[in-house]
Amino acid sequence: MRNITNLIPDGTAGLVSAIQQQDGATAWSKSNKAAADFRDYTKADEDQPSIAEFYKQNHIHQTLDHVLAQKAKYCDDQVRKTSMGIWQVLEILDKFVDESDPDTEMSQIMHSLQSSEAARKDGQPRWMILTALIHDIGKWIAVCGEPQWSTVGDTFPVGCQVSPKVVYSEYFALNPDTQKYGNSKYGIYSPHCGLHNLHMSFGHDEYLYHVCKDYLPKEALYIIRFHSFYAWHTSGEYTWFMNDEDHQMMKWVKQFNQYDLYSKAEETPDVDQLKPYYLNLIDEFFPKTIKW
């Protein structure tokens, strides 16, 4: 098994061209895109000004009240009534492009398959390959009419002070909660209460966690729930809320992040060719349909 650090030797992310192998997996050849060139929001400010505008809306509107209302609307088992299979949702998301992402303009099915193929190529266990495939399909709420600011982008806890390491943190000055919690490190929480006790800004992560919680191992659910919490898993903030379980789980989130971020390659995976393998993998964990 290849170690995941091989994916980013000497700062080169290197996953840009996909090469089909005989066993059906996809091998990746290196590109010139260095790891440091991913998530370059300074560059995005010049080339993609809509990303700053996206985060402005996100940071203004993601309040504790918003999060509680969205959880009541989407996360309760009783409120989710639409039955769909995992692959069906992936196909619906074929039309969806995430406005917050500076690294890919591809549709979500392409990003899903790029991530899962990177994990598969790396010899990861089947649950991790599946997690990589589905981690973003909570973006289905955008298809239901949720604005992008309430669906995508990095997440952060609400109801407490926000770390300056959250991307575009300057826009939090415009958030009404800043008056209430802006000076309180712990806000409504207590030290080391565990990340599962935080109300995270609402989006595809929290929603999909609830959709999947009866079907996947706890590591997979943890990755799904916190994969967009970059200020924590990549910038080392919010450690004051972590409990023992979070310390154990963080390594999985970090491993997963390599496949999520650096697989944003330009070559498009062959959906029809990969479909049988993934239908089989989905069947191993999920019933034919689940509630959305």
Ligand X SMILES: O[C@H]1[C@H](O)[C@@H](O)[C@H](O)[C@@H](O)[C@H]1O
In this chain, which stretch among 97-105, 118-126, 179-187, 243-251 interacts with ligand X, using CB under 6 A? 97-105
| 101 makes contact with Fe ion (CB under 5 A) | no
CB-closest chain residue to ligand X: 228
Q: How many residues bind ligand X (CB under 6 A)?
A: 10
In contact, 264 and 243? CB cutoff 8 Å? no
Handedness of CA 185, 253, 115, 7 (dihedral sign): positive
How would you class 144 by CB atoms within 10 Å of its CB: exposed for 0-12, middle for 13-18, buried for 19 or more?
A: exposed
| 154 makes contact with ligand X (CB under 6 A) | yes
| 99 makes contact with Fe ion (CB under 5 A) | no
Structure tokens at 128: 């991790």
Q: Which of 153, 157, 159, 269 binds ligand X (CB under 6 A)?
A: 153
Radius of gyration (Cα) for the chain, nearest Å? Answer: 18
Query: Is 50 annotated as belonging to a binding site?
Result: no
In the complex, the smallest distance separating the C-beta of residue 104 from ligand X, rounded to whole angstroms, is: 9
**Which distant-in-sequence residues (6+ apart) come within 8 Å of 220 by Cβ?**
127, 128, 130, 131, 212
Q: Which of 154, 177, 206, 260 binds Fe ion (CB under 5 A)?
A: 260
* Residues from 128 through 147 that contact Fe ion (CB under 5 A): 136
Q: Which of 33, 210, 227, 264 binds ligand X (CB under 6 A)?
A: 227
Query: Is 204 annotated as belonging to a binding site?
Result: yes
Q: How far apart are the first and last CA of the chain?
A: 36
Nearer Cβ to ligand X, position 77 or 105? 105
In the complex, the smallest distance separating the C-beta of residue 184 from Fe ion, rounded to whole angstroms, is: 28
In contact, 90 and 249? CB cutoff 8 Å? no
Nearer Cβ to Fe ion, position 101 or 177? 101
| 98 makes contact with ligand X (CB under 6 A) | yes
| 136 makes contact with ligand X (CB under 6 A) | yes
Furthest CA-CA distance within the chain: 58
